[in-house]
Structure 1
Amino acid sequence: MSGTVHPLLGALLVGVGGGLGAAARFWVADGIKARRPNGFPWGTWIVNAVGSLLIGLLTGWLVLADGNEPWRLLLAVGLCGGFTTFSTATVETVTMFRGGRHVAAVLHSVSTLAVSVLAAVVGIVLTSALMGG
């Protein structure tokens, strides 16, 4: 099933994947926060890093598999989009900054971006290597 997808099916795939991803994000981030309540948003940081690795792996696979659009919509756009959260990371950074935790805010912001980009690159390169692309 590659190629274009009917817009209604695409919206359904993104919605299902996004709902599952958002629920997984809540479960993971909340679980991490419960175990490490030191004020640094490790839960959001970890889901963004893991989600970026996952979307990198999926992107590498989908590109080498001639871009299977339904899977891209369900897994990359929906699941990974719902699992990762730039907006929450941004609000957490602003909250730390406003609370006087300037170093933590800058570290959170810079490390979230750097680790997420690196994880996506690693995922794409790893999938390409494993699939011989």
Structure 2
Amino acid sequence: MESPYLLPAWIGLGAVFGALSRYYLTLICARALGGYFPFGTFVVNLSGASLMGFLATYLPSVNPNLPLNHLIFVGFLGSYTTFSTYALETTNLLKQKTYGQALFYGVGGLVAGFLGVELGIALARQLSG
């Protein structure tokens, strides 16, 4: 059983490695494939989603009470890419046959995220003159 006092440490440790992995993989992709398309983010999102799906399915079959779940899922994959969590949660809504919620979350998250970025840009331009 995980100690609730150690939980933030496990999450933080995983986050450090997830963030560094994301950073270096993005650099490697940019150097290898060029910077005209965000290949690094694309590779990170796809690999993170695949890893999330694999681990979320495989680890409970091996040990349902794995003490490092928070390190892996919240820490590492959470800082590596939030897209992996987004993809898993959309898949879970589909598995629960809550299709309206899955559509809202899956498509709505993309549209709202894009609109949020545009709104942030517009507000920053207004404030900076």
Pick the TM interval, shorter chain. 0.5 to 0.7
Identity of aligned residues (%): 32
1:27 aligned partner: 24
Picking from 53, 77, 81, the partner of 1:80 is: 77
1:59 aligned partner: 56
1:81 CA drift (Å): 1.2
1:47 aligned partner: 44
Q: 2:42 is aligned with what amino acid? A: W
The TM-score, its normalising length taken from structure 2, stands at 0.58
Gaps of 5+ in 2: 84-112, 122-129
CA distance in 1, matches of 2:33, 2:70: 33
* CA RMSD, Structure 1 to Structure 2 (Å): 2.5
Local SS of the residue matching 1:67: coil
CA distance in 2, matches of 1:66, 1:23: 27
Query: Taking CA–CA contacts closer than 8 Å with sequence separation of 6 or more, which of the two structures ends up with the larger relative contact order?
Result: 1
CA distance in 2, matches of 1:79, 1:67: 19
1:15 aligned partner: 12
CA distance in 1, matches of 2:82, 2:41: 7
User: Which deviates more, 8-17 or 76-85?
Assistant: 76-85
Q: 1:25 is aligned with what amino acid? A: R
2:68 aligned partner: 71
CA distance in 1, matches of 2:3, 2:29: 38
1:67 CA drift (Å): 2.3
Structure (1 or 2) with the larger CA radius of gyration? 2
The TM-score, its normalising length taken from structure 1, stands at 0.56
Local SS of the residue matching 1:7: coil
